Structure 1
Amino acid sequence: MAVSTQLLSALAIMYPLLAAPALAGSLADIEHVVLFMQENRAFDHYFGTMAGVRGFSDPNVQVNSDGKPVWEQAVNSALTNATSALLPWYLNYQGGDFLDATQCMVAGDNGWQDNHAALNGGLNNHWATNNTPWSWGHYQRGDIPVQFAIADGWTIGDMYQESVIASTNPNRVTWASGSINVPGSPQTSSEGGYPYIDNNETPGCEDGGFNCYPLLWKTTAEIYQDAGVSWSIFQDADNFDDNPLAWFGQFQEALTGSALYNKGMVGQSLDTFYAMAKNGSLPAISYIIGPAELSEHPPYAPRDGAWLQKKIVDAVTQGAGWSKTALIISYDETGGWGDHVTPYHSPSGTAGEWLQDPYNEVGYTYSGPGFRLPFYIVSPWTRGGKVFTEHADHNSQIMFVEQWLAAKGKNVVTDQMVPWRRSHMSNLVNAFDFENPDTSLPTIPDAPAPHTNSDGVYDGAEVCESTYAVTRPTVPYTSQIGLDKVSSLSEQGFKAMRGALTEGRYIVFEQGGYALSNPGKPATDFSATKATSTHSDIAQRWVVHSLVDGGNTFTISSAKDGKYIGSHTGLIDSSSGAETYTVTFAAGNGYALQKENGKYVSVDGSGNVQIYGDVSYFEAYSVTYSS
């Protein structure tokens, strides 16, 4: 039967982002996965101001025993006597030359010792004193417009963590293999590392028998090779020594002409990647290793990295294989930039996770996961400005590839991953909506081409540092915004949520055109009222409070007046007596709110809240509004 013109017009109005009607699909529809990892930026530093993410408007911000939230970073007399704490601050608040100069500034140190010192035993309040006060600075959309546009156009993950509270090599080793060989890991002490927590590339071990090099356990690329899955490194001659496969002995010793040598050591050029993306001939798995100047590693400019990101995104989205390609963009570690979310990690004593600090600086500690990083997924199944909320780290990319290839009949499950990571980190599948692929493209601003010297070599950081004698702005100790104004740093807006629920956001739960609502006095029960297109009604905003770190049980309070949901549909004044809700996410359905008695919250067709025995699902929106 022919589809009416009226119906097509109605669909175009209701779903303007759809390129064309599409049939529901599955994970197996993906043919190409591109893994593109950049360098040394933290989540708050890049995206703390973004609307709809866990950023500067976090309602669950950690408050330490001294009564101070982690927004207030400790300072000392060596830094300033003008204040007792440093609040988040915008790096370019002085304007002028700093709008360009901070592109090549360096914040702090990204190593094991200084980042554990900033973490301060979980208080997460020593970024200024044990790293630098610049570590607590951030950019806004106008400073990194390309990164913002890509993340906003598709799906950003706001609970993606570095795998190791350390520098580049340990994190990229995890990305390529699933482990750094902390004692208790699947590897043996003779396979290198034991543990590998620094950038050592000198053969042998450091005093004490750790950071051993080269590494010798099996990488995921070798597993793909064994399973007959096509893969390749894509890099240029200047790869910033960022190819983690090159740190493994089996690749170093691979014979010229062998698969490990050709695909893992030599690889293919970025120009070849662009050409293959254009004609749809990419391998199943592509690793993108950018050149130093385009890596975003301080002092290399975010705007130069943006140019490379746009090149990669354009190559994928304008290529013949766009409808069946997933591009995952991540960063390896924080680069000395701070983040306010204390890392989600394993319990003390977990095998392969906890160790006695071999530097004898921070005692018995967990290796990771560490602080949050920028992370976004570009694909037809992640389109639409959504936020993915599950706990994830570099292991998650490995597990995603495992799940994807399992859906295509291939077994590439590695036995090298630490069991706790496999059990507790996301496999990223819930970030994707396979029932509603959308190949339309958002508008991504142009990125200026990176500066090159007369030989055509990128030299943007060198030019920047020679142009601006001062690249670090003055720390605003005496002109801070005030603790009550931290949330004002955020943009206004919302993002549709995907994935297992985590804290750190105001949430609107909607079903059938209605949103769960706190009507306020004299009412004593929550109800449902008409949803709004912007999801901005404060009466419809809720805050979840996790009862088990990494779990799915929560109490729920209202953003309107702080009241908690008590028994049945009642609202009570404090968390004492609040009912525990089990909140689960089901792809294709949404979020189920299950009460202690096993029944589910629902809204009927007339907008009345009902408690039913059958499961009922809500759409959820992470919202950021100042009122």
Structure 2
Amino acid sequence: MSAPTPSPDPSEHSGTPLSRRRLLGNAGKALAAGVVAPAVVGGSAAAAHAAPARPAVPANSASMVPPGDHSAALRALGRSALRFPGTLPHPAVPAGTDMLPGIDHIVILMLENHSFDNFIGMLGRGDGFTLGADGMPTATNPYPDGRIQHAFRMPTTCQLPSTPSQEWAAAHNSYDGGANDGFVRTTITPYTTQIVGGVAMGYWTGDDLPFTYSLASTFPIADRWFSSVMGQTDPNRRYLIAATSAGMTDDIGSPAGDLGLIVPAAGTIFNLLDAYGISWENYVASYPTGATPDLFPINDVIPEAFHNKPFAQFFTDVAAGDLPAVTLLDPDYNSQSQENPQNIVVGEALLAEVVQAIGTSPLWPKTLFVLVYDEHGGYYDHVPPPAAIPPDLIPPVVQLGESLYDGFARYGFRVPAVVVSPYAKRDHVSHLLYDHTSVLAMIEHKWNLPALTFRDANANDLTDFLDLAALAAHSPTFPQLPPLAAPGNTPAALACSVNGPGTIPPPGSITG
């Protein structure tokens, strides 16, 4: 018999994995076709944008609670009671109140497709690889025939074009009920016989990613930041902006991904910011097909039309001290996101440019920058994803023949996450449980905004990364951006973009 539901708190797939470069095609078509949000039917888009209605705060109701026992998920979050959507982080304070004066700008960059172990497992901070006497990771995964693939340093900074796989079924097979031993032997999709293979056990080091390692050694990292859903890019990015994927488990372009017209009950974070008069901007390299807000086209096509600028404009604006309260960065996902088969040093160079631009701008003293990755990309991680609170009552929509598994009641694999701020804690690793809705929880905490779903209502916000005493005293822990290593986009590292990624897995990395 299952335990009772905790009491409420009164306060990429079609045979070939889809790349991010195609992820918003349907949203772009919706924009081109003139899809409009319900709020603007019968009125002008400009009027609807200028004076949006504030979302209603729903009353707490047992009928809203996703079915199941959520006690394990609450314990993992460090919570004892379930908080409801629509409630405020600070119930005694009016919604829209600034609760973190001194942090006036939140900048978000979500890159792509790498697990914690794959990118920073060799950092030496946080829960990374276990190392043997030879200084090498001891992690392994079996092939279907019983051979053992050992973790190995990737031969170059380039990646294979079609593997590994983070597709819904592949990711759950990798998880294997918590054993995390299926990364190598799983097939790319349920409809193929090609296994992911040894590439899943590849990793990079600080010699490959010098700026990333320098940043993650200087500023606080999280070693329990999980992707929001054990699946691909689009559903995870939907969680980043709406705290739900509204049933989506796969990328747009597949039957389980073409859910662009399903509207989340409370809208997106952009609708919420507009409703409370909080400024935001999306700096996007390819508008509209590369604009994350348009993953919910009915909600965000019109707001995004008023809130997008060319990506390059970010550098001009930040240098002029002219950023909004919330900034989302959507770079060139063809080359700068670090998704396979890209050369990861190109994306690292972009990351370095963004951090240096913030750190040398007049806005450095009052900015919080969040770097996170959307999902693990099929690469190995040794920490099993814990139970999660489903965001709402919408069930997963999966490909024909795929299982529902745990639905949305489990996180995806760990991803790298770094928080950069003049008030960041020094020498800190946050061991709290996070997912992408923690970014929403931080925005909601900052401006005391109502939660969108059960997921962000109960997510840990990002205040553990900050020295709140220093913030209250206006005494920055990092008065200036400290010196950081140059990015790894050297001519030698860039050569593999022409010459290929090398032999993966390398000889000698397989035993048995």
* Structure 1 position 104, deviation (Å): 6.2
2:143 is equivalent to residue 75 of structure 1: yes
Question: Which structure 2 residues correspond to residues 22-171 of structure 1 after superposition, within 5 A?
Answer: 27-57=100-130, 71-77=139-145, 83=147, 85-91=148-154, 98-100=155-157, 102=158, 107-130=163-186, 131-171=196-236
Call closer, same or farther: CA 1:354–1:389 in 2, change over 3 Å: farther
Question: Which structure 2 residues correspond to residues 583-594 of structure 1 after superposition, within 5 A?
Answer: none
Q: Which amino acid aligns with 1:89?
A: F
Structure 2 unmatched runs, 5+: 1-97, 187-195, 471-475
Cα deviation, 1:272-291, whole Å, max 9, x if unaligned, reads 21122112110000000110
Distance (whole Å) between structure 2 residues aligned to residue 475 and residue 26 of structure 1:
55
SS at match of 1:110: coil
- Cα pair 1:304 1:449 within 8 Å, conserved: yes
- Cα pair 1:27 1:434 within 8 Å, conserved: no
Distance (whole Å) between structure 2 residues aligned to residue 113 and residue 401 of structure 1:
32
Call closer, same or farther: CA 1:421–1:280 in 2, change over 3 Å: closer
* Structure 1 position 88, deviation (Å): 2.3
Question: Which structure 2 residues correspond to residues 33-432 of structure 1 after superposition, within 5 A?
Answer: 33-57=106-130, 71-77=139-145, 83=147, 85-91=148-154, 98-100=155-157, 102=158, 107-130=163-186, 131-181=196-246, 195-201=247-253, 206=255, 211-217=258-264, 218-237=267-286, 241-250=289-298, 254=302, 259-263=303-307, 267-292=308-333, 293-346=335-388, 352=393, 359-367=400-408, 368-406=410-448, 412-415=449-452, 417=453, 419-420=454-455, 422-423=457-458, 425-432=459-466
Cα deviation, 1:193-252, whole Å, max 9, x if unaligned, reads xx11111258xxx38xx742334231110110111000000012378x442211223357
Q: Which amino acid aligns with 2:248?
A: Y
SS at match of 1:198: coil
Call closer, same or farther: CA 1:309–1:471 in 2, change over 3 Å: farther
SS at match of 2:221: strand
Distance (whole Å) between structure 1 residues aligned to residue 286 and residue 416 of structure 2:
26
* Structure 1 position 360, deviation (Å): 3.3
Q: Which amino acid aligns with 1:414?
A: A
Distance (whole Å) between structure 1 residues aligned to residue 314 and residue 437 of structure 2:
24
Distance (whole Å) between structure 1 residues aligned to residue 427 and residue 419 of structure 2:
10
Aligned positions, number = 391
Distance (whole Å) between structure 1 residues aligned to residue 397 and residue 499 of structure 2:
45
Aligned to 1:467: 499
Highest RCO, 1 vs 2 (Cα 8 Å, sep ≥ 6): 2
Call closer, same or farther: CA 1:140–1:226 in 2, change over 3 Å: same
TM-score (norm 2): 0.70
Distance (whole Å) between structure 2 residues aligned to residue 472 and residue 238 of structure 1:
35
Cα deviation, 1:14-46, whole Å, max 9, x if unaligned, reads xxxxxxxxxxx9822111000111111110001
SS at match of 2:101: helix
Call closer, same or farther: CA 1:276–1:381 in 2, change over 3 Å: same
Q: Which amino acid aligns with 2:271?
A: E
- Cα pair 1:117 1:362 within 8 Å, conserved: no
- Cα pair 1:103 1:303 within 8 Å, conserved: no
Call closer, same or farther: CA 1:380–1:104 in 2, change over 3 Å: farther
Q: Considering only aligned residues, what root-mean-square deviation do their CA atoms show, in Å?
A: 3.1
* Structure 1 position 153, deviation (Å): 1.3
Distance (whole Å) between structure 1 residues aligned to residue 401 and residue 391 of structure 2:
20
- Cα pair 1:356 1:364 within 8 Å, conserved: no
Distance (whole Å) between structure 1 residues aligned to residue 423 and residue 391 of structure 2:
35
Distance (whole Å) between structure 1 residues aligned to residue 268 and residue 282 of structure 2:
13
Answer 1 or 2: which has greater strand percent. Answer: 1
- Cα pair 2:292 2:330 within 8 Å, conserved: no
SS at match of 2:438: helix
Distance (whole Å) between structure 1 residues aligned to residue 99 and residue 446 of structure 2:
9
Distance (whole Å) between structure 2 residues aligned to residue 391 and residue 362 of structure 1:
26
Deviating beyond 6 angstroms after TM superposition, the runs of 4 or more aligned structure 1 residues are none
* Structure 1 position 115, deviation (Å): 0.8
Q: Which amino acid aligns with 1:99?
A: T
Call closer, same or farther: CA 1:115–1:70 in 2, change over 3 Å: farther
TM-score (norm 1): 0.57
SS at match of 2:109: strand
Distance (whole Å) between structure 2 residues aligned to residue 326 and residue 339 of structure 1:
27
**Among 453, 474, 481, which residue is 1:441 paired with?**
481
Report percent identity of matched pairs: 21
* Structure 1 position 90, deviation (Å): 2.1
Distance (whole Å) between structure 2 residues aligned to residue 251 and residue 355 of structure 1:
20
- Cα pair 1:133 1:475 within 8 Å, conserved: no
* Structure 1 position 428, deviation (Å): 1.4
Call closer, same or farther: CA 1:136–1:288 in 2, change over 3 Å: same
SS at match of 2:372: strand
